[in-house]
Amino acid sequence: MLLSLEGATVRFGGRAVLDAVDLEVAEHEIVCVLGPSGSGKSTLLRAVAGLQPLDSGRVVLDGRDQAGMPAHRRGVGLMFQDHQLFPQRDVGGNVAFGLRMHGAHKRQQAERVEELLELVGLPGADRRAVAALSGGEQQRVALARALAPSPRLLMLDEPLGQLDRSLRERLVVELKELFGRLGTTVLAVTHDQGEAFALADRVVVMRDGRIAQSGTPLEVWQRPADAFVARFLGFENVVEATVGAEAADTPWGKVPVPEGAPQGGRTLLVRPTGVRLVPADAGLRCTVTARTFKGTHVSVHLQPKDAPRLEAACALRVAPDVGDEVGVEFDAAEIAVLG
Amino acid sequence: MPVAFFAVFFAYPVAAIVARGLKADGAWRLGRIGEVLAQSDVRHVLWFTTWQALVSTALTLLVALPGAYVFARLDFPGKQVLRAVVTVPFVLPTVVVGTAFLALVGRGGLLDELWGVRLDTTVWAILLAHVFFNYAVVVRTVGGLWAQLDPRQEEAARMLGTSPLKAWRRVTLPALAPAVAAAALMVFLFTFTSFGVVQILGGPTFSTLEVEIYRQTSEIFDLSTAAVLTLIQFVAVGAILALHAWTVRRRETALRLVDASVTARRPRGAGQWALLGGALVTVLVLLLLPLAVLVQRSVGAAGFGYYRALTRNDGGVFLVPPIEAIGNSLSYAVAATLIAVVIGALAAVALTRRDAGRFVRGFDALLMLPLGVSAVTVGFGFLIALDEPPLDLRSSWILVPLAQALVGVPFVVRTMLPVLRAVDVRLREAAAVLGASPWRVWREVDLPMVRRALLVAAGFAFAVSLGEFGATVFIARPDRPTLPVAVARLLGRPGELNYGQAMALSTILMVVCAVALLVLEKLRTDRTGEF
C-alpha cells in the first residue's frame, strides 16, 4: 500500500473531527472521499500532508510511519480548495516553485514547466500573471504546480468546487484521463457525488469523522451501506421495514424485495425508478404534490395517505399534473435492502 | 529574543524605579505613595495633567472629526498630497512643535508682532499644540474606517424613510463610535504623557506628570519622589491602554467594509463645500502656519546667520558646535532603527504564529506599553538601572539607540502585524507541501509581501528615534547631544542668537522628518496600488 491510515484521530476541542479512521490507497489508485461539509474530509487530507498533527493513530507512506515528519519532507502534493496560487509570482513561477524547492536546475525547471502547462492545456502561459487567470485556468495552474515535483501521492481538496457546472463536468473527464495516463496515485475529497463517481476507482463516504462506506462507485450506488449514505446520495425513499422472504412490510404497505435479501428489521431503499405509476384505483393511492423537470425524466413527489412521501421518476409524456390522484406499484429490481 | 530585550531594557528599569521609589534601607514602604500624593503641588500637577488632556482630546475631536469626514467621503484634487501633509505633524518631534508654536504665539512671535497677542503664558499654547499633533491621529483612525463604511447602508436607511441626518445618526455614527472612542483614548494618552510640548510651552506655571518627573530628577534630584510619580503614571497609562485594547476589540465586530476608493464623491451642495473649505482652512492655519513661521523665524533678520552660527563652537551652551547634533542624531537613529526593526519584526512574526499561546498574546499588549508608558519613564529607568552593575552601559554610546529603539518597537510591530496577519496561512501551507522548509516559506511567501511594510516600519522607527526627546534628554551625554536635546538646551538660554539657532535646528529636524515621512507615504500608496 502506498498510503495507509491506521486509527487516525484528530480532535478539535474535545470533538473528534477524524475518529479512528482506517484507510488504504494502493499505487495508481484514485480514491475519492465523499461527504457533507464538516464530515472531516479536509482534515483527513491535512493529516496526510503533515499540516495537521494526529492526536492518535498513524499515517504510513510507502511503509514508513510519518510521525514527526514535517510537511515539506513528505513528498506528497496537495491542491488546495481555492488554489492558493502565489499572487506575487507569474504562472511559470508558481509551477516551478516545487522544483526550485527541490533544487532542480534552471533549464530542468523551464522544460518541466513547459511540459506541464502543455499537459494541463495552457501552453505558453508561463509569463501570465495569476490575477489575470479565470477560475478554470487557475485550477489548471494549481494542478500543474502540484504535479511538477512528481509527488508520490497527489491530494485534491474539492478540486472543482468553485467552478461552474459545465466546466466542472468537462474537467472531471479530463482529470480522470490525465491521471490514468500519468499513473498518478490520487486521494481527492469532494461533497459532490457526481464528481466522485466520475473520477474515482474507489469511493469512501465519510460521516462525522468516520468512514460510513467504502467501495467502487457502482457498489456504493447500488447498495448504500445505510440510510445516511442513501440519503446523502440523493435517495429520498428510505424507510424502516420488516423484510420477509418475498416482500417487506413498510408504511407504504407490502413492497416486493429482490431474491435472497437479508430478512428481519432492516432499512429499505426504493429508487425513484422503482416507483411505477398506475391508475388511481390500483395500488397505493397518492396525491401528486410537486413535479420537477430533470432533463431526461420528470421527478414526481407523491403524498400517500398516512405514510411518508415518495419520489418517483417517470417519462415526460406520462407524467401526471400536480393535484392528480394516482396509484403506485413497486418494482423489486429497483429496491435494495440496506445493512 | 524580543522577550529578553524587553526584560532587560524595559522590565528591569521599571523594576528599578519601583525599588527606588518604594524601598528605603532594604524595607518596602508603600506609605510613600500616600505621602507623595498628599503634597499639594503633586495633586496640582495630577489635576492639570488630567484636565488638559481631557480638554485637548475634546478640542482635537471637535476640529478633526469634520476633517475625517472630508478625507473619507469627499473627493477633491490634491487629496493625496493633503493627506500626507496632515500626517507630517504626527511624526514631527515634540520639540519642533513646541518651538514652532513658540514662534507663532510666544514672546516676539508672529501674533505678538501683529496684534500684541501672546499665548505662551496661557494654557492655550499647549492645547493648540496638542491639537496640531493629534489631528492626524483622529483623521487617520476615524477617517480610515469611515472611508470603508458602505454608503449603501445609509442609503438603505434612507429608503426606509429616515431623514439624512437621522440616517447618519442611526447608521453611520454607531459604526464609527468605537473608532472615535479608540482615537479619543489614543489622543488622551498622548496628551496625558505630553512632555516636550509642555516642557517648552508650559513655562514654570504648567507642568504635566511627565514634566514633573523630569524636574524632580534633573533639577531637584528627588529620585524617590520621581519614582513614585512614575509609578502613578504607569498605572494610569496601563488603565488607558487596557481601555483602548477593549474598544479596539469591540471595533472588530463585523462591519461591512468596502474599498475606500469607491466611497468618496465630489462635494455637492453648500454644506459639503463649507466642510471642505473649513477643513482646508484648519489645515492651513493650524498645521501649516506654525511650521511656516518656524522656518521664517529661523531665517530671521540675519539672513542665514543662525544657520552659520550652528557651525561655531561658542563654548557656552555646548562642548561642541551645535551642527554636530545632526550627525549624532542621524547615527543614533540608524542604530535605533536597526535594533527596533530586528526586535519588532521578530516579535511580529512570533505573534502571528498560529501556535502562539496565551503567553505570547499577552506579550502583544506588553509591547504597546513603552509607547504609552512615556519616554521619560524609559529614560529615567535607564538612568537608574543601567548605570551600575550588573549592567553598566552609562559610558556606552549604545544606551541612547537602545532607549529610542524601545520607543520605536511598538510602531514596527503595529505596522508589521496587520500585513503578516493578512498573509493566508494556507499560502504558507501550499509552499510547505511543495517542499519549502519553514525558513524557505518565510523567505518565499512572507517576505515578498511584507517587504514594503518592513520599509515603512523602518521609516517610522527612524522618524521616531530622530525626534525622540523624553528618554534621550535623560541619557544623552553632554558632548553628544541629539537634535531635539540641542534645541531644548538652546531654548533654555537667554539671548536672540540662541533663540534663532534653536529655530534653525528645529527647521533642519523638521525637514529631515518630513522627507522621511513623504518617502513613506510614497511607499504606502505604491503598495495599495499593487495589491
Q: List, in order of start, the domains of chain A with CATH numbers.
A: 3-228 (3.40.50.300), 235-338 (2.40.50.140)
Residue A226 to residue A236: CA distance in whole angstroms: 13
One CATH from 3.20.190.10, 3.30.420.40, 1.10.3720.10, 2.160.10.10 for B1-38+300-531: 1.10.3720.10
With H, G, I as helix, E, B as strand and everything else as coil, classify residue A255.
strand
Confidence (pTM): 0.67
How confident is the model at residue B73, as a pLDDT? 75
For residue B82, what are the CA distances in angstroms to A88, A294, B77, B144, B275?
A: 31, 62, 9, 15, 15
Whether residue A84 and residue B444 make contact (CB cut-off 8 A), yes or no, is: no
Average pLDDT over residues A150-164: 86
Whether residue B430 and residue A78 make contact (CB cut-off 8 A), yes or no, is: yes
Q: Nearest-CA neighbor of A211 among A189, A192, A194, A195?
A: A189
Q: Which residue has the higher pLDDT, A252 or B422?
A: A252
Decide if A129 touches B, using CB distance below 8 A: no
CA B355 to chain centre: 32
Q: Which residues of A touch B431 (CB under 8 A)?
A: 86, 97, 101
Q: Which residues of B touch A139 (CB under 8 A)?
A: none
Q: Are A205 and A211 in contact (CB under 8 A)?
A: yes
Predicted confidence pLDDT, tens digits, chain B (531 residues): 666 676 666 767 777 777 766 666 556 666 666 666 667 777 778 888 888 888 888 888 888 888 888 877 777 777 777 777 777 777 677 777 887 777 777 666 666 666 666 666 677 788 888 888 888 778 877 777 777 777 777 777 777 777 777 777 777 777 777 778 878 887 888 888 777 778 777 777 777 777 887 777 777 767 777 777 777 777 777 777 777 777 766 655 555 555 556 666 676 677 777 777 777 777 777 777 777 777 777 776 556 666 666 666 555 555 566 677 777 888 888 888 888 888 888 887 777 765 555 555 555 556 666 655 667 777 777 777 766 655 565 666 677 788 788 777 877 877 777 777 777 788 888 999 898 888 888 888 888 877 777 877 787 788 878 877 777 777 777 777 778 877 777 777 777 677 777 777 778 888 887 777 777 666 655 443 332
How confident is the model at residue B100, as a pLDDT? 79
Nearest to A97 among B429, B431, B449 (CB): B431
Q: Which residues contact A201 (CB under 8 A, 6 or more apart)?
A: A29, A30, A31, A216
Q: Are A312 and A302 in contact (CB under 8 A)?
A: yes
Sheet holding A264-270, edge to edge: A253-256, A247-250, A238-243, A264-270, A335-338
The three cell numbers locating residue B242: 487596557
Cross-strand pairs, A202: A31
Decide if A278 touches B, using CB distance below 8 A: no
Decide if A221 touches B, using CB distance below 8 A: no
Decide if B435 touches A, using CB distance below 8 A: yes
Any idea how long chain B is?
531
Cross-strand pairs, A242: A249, A265
How confident is the model at residue B528, as a pLDDT? 38
Query: Does this complex have an ipTM over 0.95?
Result: no
Q: Is the pLDDT of residue A186 over 90?
A: yes
For residue A234, what are the CA distances in angstroms to A152, A230, A294, B318?
A: 34, 7, 14, 88
Q: How many CB atoms lie within 10 A of CB A155?
A: 27
Q: Which residues of A touch B355 (CB under 8 A)?
A: none
For residue B167, what are the CA distances in angstroms to B177, B226, B319?
A: 15, 51, 64
Domain assignments of chain B as residue spans, ordered by start: 1-38+300-531, 40-299
Q: For residue B424, what is the nearest residue in chain A, using CA coordinates? A: A84
Q: For residue A145, what is the nearest residue in chain B, using CA coordinates? A: B434
Residue A112 to residue A118: CA distance in whole angstroms: 10
Q: Are A323 and A287 in contact (CB under 8 A)?
A: yes
Q: How many CB atoms lie within 10 A of CB B312?
A: 11
Task: Encode burial over A85-109: b for 16+ CB neighbours within 10 A, e otherwise.
Answer: bbbbbbbbbbbbbbbbbbebeeeeb
The three cell numbers locating residue B356: 502562539
Q: Is the pLDDT of residue A6 over 90?
A: yes
Q: Are A233 and A217 in contact (CB under 8 A)?
A: no
How confident is the model at residue B117, as a pLDDT? 63
Q: Which residue has the higher pLDDT, B383 or A179?
A: A179
Decide if A323 touches B, using CB distance below 8 A: no
Q: Which residue has the higher pLDDT, B240 or A11?
A: A11
Q: For residue A144, what is the nearest residue in chain B, using CA coordinates? A: B434
Q: Which residue has the higher pLDDT, A87 or B357?
A: A87
Angle at A62 between CA A59 and CA A65, to 5 degrees: 35
Let me know if domain B40-299 sits in CATH 1.10.3720.10. Answer: yes
B330, containing H or E segment = helix B324-352
Decide if A70 touches B, using CB distance below 8 A: yes
Same fold, B1-38+300-531 and B40-299: yes
Whether residue B429 and residue A70 make contact (CB cut-off 8 A), yes or no, is: no
